[in-house]
């Protein structure tokens, strides 16, 4: 990917945080990779070893200095340890990317309180704790960029997905409120919204055979690389007059009635 000079992240320190296995959460390694390609040094925070390992490997393959740590981001004490670890390696924080999206597909009348709380904890509470802990360091350092990866279900409903939709809506509103609160302190807070994605590379004619794809205006699932240019922009100094915005990279899904 060619990176314009004004979008360069050279020597910036980016924290990439995610949850889930690689099968459940395909984005985190690609997010680390593209930030590294743009010049950032990358610190990965995730709950599972394979997620940290793959994201760090991809960042280093771009020539970036990269480290990671295991962290249950629903725990305030663990998040503070992750902050300390990141600062020990890099000394500051310029960029925070949150990618917490544990799904739960279940009829609403069958969702238990424990399941609802678990989804809200992993998807919304984690973002709250990460934004608060790393945001404090950005405030101390004079500014920064926060990008929250969300689903389009933050604004659209879907049957058998009430808990997940609620968690995504919470992150969207947190994004907007933080953008207002921290705007004058040089912190920009935005969200990238996704639709149906896959890391699998399929020929167009084969991909379009899938019934789900026929509902997508651009007739294919998204690939994590599709969000790369937008992520780099939102993480860069060039993103100075954009804040509080959800921007959807979804093949046109949000345009459908």
Please list the active-site residues.
Answer: 164
**Secondary structure element (H or E) that encloses residue 126, with its range:** helix 126-141
Residue 45, phi then psi, degrees to nearest 5: -125, 120
> Can you say whether residue 149 is alpha, beta or left, with left for phi > 0 and alpha for psi between -120 and 50 degrees?
beta
Helix (H) or strand (E) holding 193: strand 187-194
Question: In the chain, helix, strand, coil percent, each to 5?
Answer: 50, 15, 35
Distance CA 28, CA 248 (A): 17
Q: CA of 147: how far to CAs of 16, 41, 106, 107, 171, in Å?
A: 10, 16, 28, 31, 11
| 22 phi/psi in degrees, rounded to 5 | -60, -35
Hey, how many other C-beta atoms are within 10 angstroms of the C-beta on 233?
20
DSSP one-letter code for 68:
E
**Distance from C-alpha of 233 to C-alpha of 68, rounded to nearest angstrom:** 23
C-alpha 133: how far from chain center: 16
Q: What angle do CA 156, 202, 22 make, to 5 degrees?
A: 65
């Amino acid at each position: 990917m060619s990176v314009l000079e004004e979008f360069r992240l050279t020597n910036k320190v980016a924290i990439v945080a995610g949850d889930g296995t690689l099968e459940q959460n395909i984005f985190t390694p690609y997010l680390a990779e593209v930030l590294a390609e743009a010049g950032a040094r990358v610190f990965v925070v995730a709950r599972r070893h394979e997620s940290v390992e793959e994201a760090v490997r991809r960042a280093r393959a771009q020539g970036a200095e990269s480290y990671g740590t295991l962290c249950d981001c629903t725990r305030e004490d663990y998040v503070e340890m992750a902050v300390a670890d990141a600062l020990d390696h890099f000394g500051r924080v310029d960029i925070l990317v949150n990618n917490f999206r544990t799904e739960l597909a279940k009829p609403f009348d069958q969702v238990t309180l424990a399941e609802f709380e678990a989804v809200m904890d992993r998807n919304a509470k984690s973002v709250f704790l990460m934004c608060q802990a790393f945001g404090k360091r950005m405030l101390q350092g004079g500014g920064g960029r926060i990008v929250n990866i969300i689903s389009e279900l933050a604004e659209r409903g879907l049957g058998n997905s009430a808990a997940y939709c609620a968690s995504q809506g919470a992150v969207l509103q947190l994004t907007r409120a933080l953008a207002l609160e921290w705007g004058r302190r040089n912190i920009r807070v935005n969200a990238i919204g996704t639709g149906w994605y896959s890391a699998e590379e399929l020929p167009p004619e084969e991909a379009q055979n899938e019934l789900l794809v026929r509902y997508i205006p651009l007739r294919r699932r998204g690939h994590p690389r599709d969000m790369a240019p937008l992520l780099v922009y939102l993480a860069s100094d060039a993103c100075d007059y954009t804040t509080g915005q959800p921007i959807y990279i979804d093949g046109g899904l949000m345009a459908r009635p």
